Homo-oligomer: A and B are copies of this chain.
Amino acid sequence: MFWLAMKFVCPQNQLTGAIALASRAVAARPDRPALAGVLLVADLEAQTLALTGFNLEVGIHLTVAAAVKESGELVLPAKLFGDIVSRLPESDVTVTVREVTAVLACGSSRYEIQGLPAAEFEDLPVVDAQETLYLPVEKLLEGLRASLFAAATDETKQVLRGVRVTASAERLELAATDGHRLAVVEMALVEPGAEAPVAMANLEATIPVRTLRELERMLMPLPEVAVAVQCDRAQVTFASGDRRLTSRLLDGAYPNYRQLLPAQFEREVTLERKQLVAALERVAILADRKNNIVKLTIDAIAQEVKLSVEAPDLANGSETLTVQASGESIDIAFNVRYLLDGLKVMDAAEVQLRLNGAVQPAVLQPLGSTKMSYLIMPVQIRS
């Protein structure tokens, strides 16, 4: 058997960033050594170094410019390789590979790391798609921020551990629920009156939360305005700039969440968001020590909402907020953490709480450009 040699030179900070990004898709406790590695492929002709991490669910592939002297490929243990490179002086790092040993040289530092042949690295799955959908990065990030938090974290919750993404060239919709609350974000991708773009692929898939968190991290620092999405029945890829994220999809029918959102409301309360968050965070100190329940006493006459929590034998507390309230006065209770989770991702100055009865679903909406509906179920209280 004959291993190609490999040699490249790359600035320390660039190599550090690239290893860190690829390592995000490397398994923490893999069942074979190659899965703990990052695949390096140096291309003499293109003068690039490609790095890949793949934990069999999510794969991250990226390319950086490098002064390549000899093409080649090798798998290096991701953690050790990253730890060493990240602590080297800010200077050029020369990596020379012979057989499966990589020698890192930088200033008067010299490290030899044992690697594995590239053949042992699991190939990233290929997505079988003819068409590509281009999504604006800014809108996608905004939508992810407003939906991801509501998905289930419990491993047993199947499709609920994903976000339902429905997208076309004109429209992006994201929905997430853990069975207790539901966040739905709707976004127009075409300015009203503007010409619709050339027909592109549609997307309708349930994408794992973990994948989408990596997508946020991958897109956030990029200057690119669009991300290219390709999807088949089992896999999705997101490509932007020199980076590509591949992930399996969640299988199974996603709940028909549209029918859960009430069409009409008997009561509406408009609240100043930051003030509400601060007040809820204070009563949450007590609620966290009991059952997480905060009671809202909505007084439509006084135009006030009183938030109160009782933890008998320990403490009780209340916060009074001035609001605009329509409809009749009502007492209603919620899980304070669910309220806070939703309020924190809204970036509007004001929010609207829309209610029917004390045991019927309520909806929180930011008053602003993002069209987001956050449905939460009240908790029954004994009066």
- Residues of A whose CB lies within 8 Å of any CB of B are 77, 80, 83-84, 87-89, 108-114, 278-279, 281-282, 285-286, 289, 313-321
Contact = CB atoms under 8 A, between A and B. Distances in A.
Contacts of A109: 279, 282, 317-319
A87 B315 contact: no
B113 A315 contact: yes
Contact of A317 (B77, B112, B314, B317): B112
Contacts of A80: 285-286, 289, 314-315
A84 B321 contact: no
A315 B111 contact: yes
Contacts of A110: 317-319
15 contacts: A77-B314, A80-B285, A83-B285, A84-B315, A87-B278, A109-B279, A109-B319, A111-B282, A111-B286, A111-B317, A111-B318, A112-B316, A112-B317, A114-B314, A114-B315
A278 B84 contact: no
Given A109-B318, A112-B316, 13 more contacts: A80-B286, A80-B315, A84-B286, A84-B315, A84-B317, A87-B278, A87-B281, A88-B282, A108-B320, A110-B319, A111-B282, A112-B317, A113-B314
Minimum-distance CB pairs A-B, first 3? A111-B317, A108-B320, A113-B315
Scoring A108, A281, A314 by chain B CB atoms within 10 A of each residue's CB, the highest score goes to A108
Task: Kindly report how many copies of this chain are found in the complex they form together.
Answer: 2
A285 B84 contact: yes
Given A114-B313, A278-B89, A314-B114, A319 B108 contact: yes
Contacts of A289: 80
Given A80-B314, A114-B314, A314-B80, A282 B87 contact: yes
A100 to B, nearest CB: 11
A337 B319 CA distance: 51
Nearest to A88: B282
A17 to B, nearest CB: 18
A271 B314 CA distance: 59
A64 to B, nearest CB: 22
Nearest to A89: B278
Contacts of A279: 109
A241 B278 CA distance: 34
Nearest to A104: B317
Nearest to A317: B111
A83 B282 CA distance: 8
Contacts of A278: 87, 89
Given A108-B320, A279-B109, A321-B108, A285 B315 contact: no
Contacts of A88: 282
A281 to B, nearest CB: 6
A285 B86 CA distance: 11
Contacts of A111: 282, 286, 315-318
Contacts of A286: 80, 84, 111
Find the residue from A88, A110, A321 having the highest chain B CB count within 10 A: A110
A279 B84 CA distance: 11
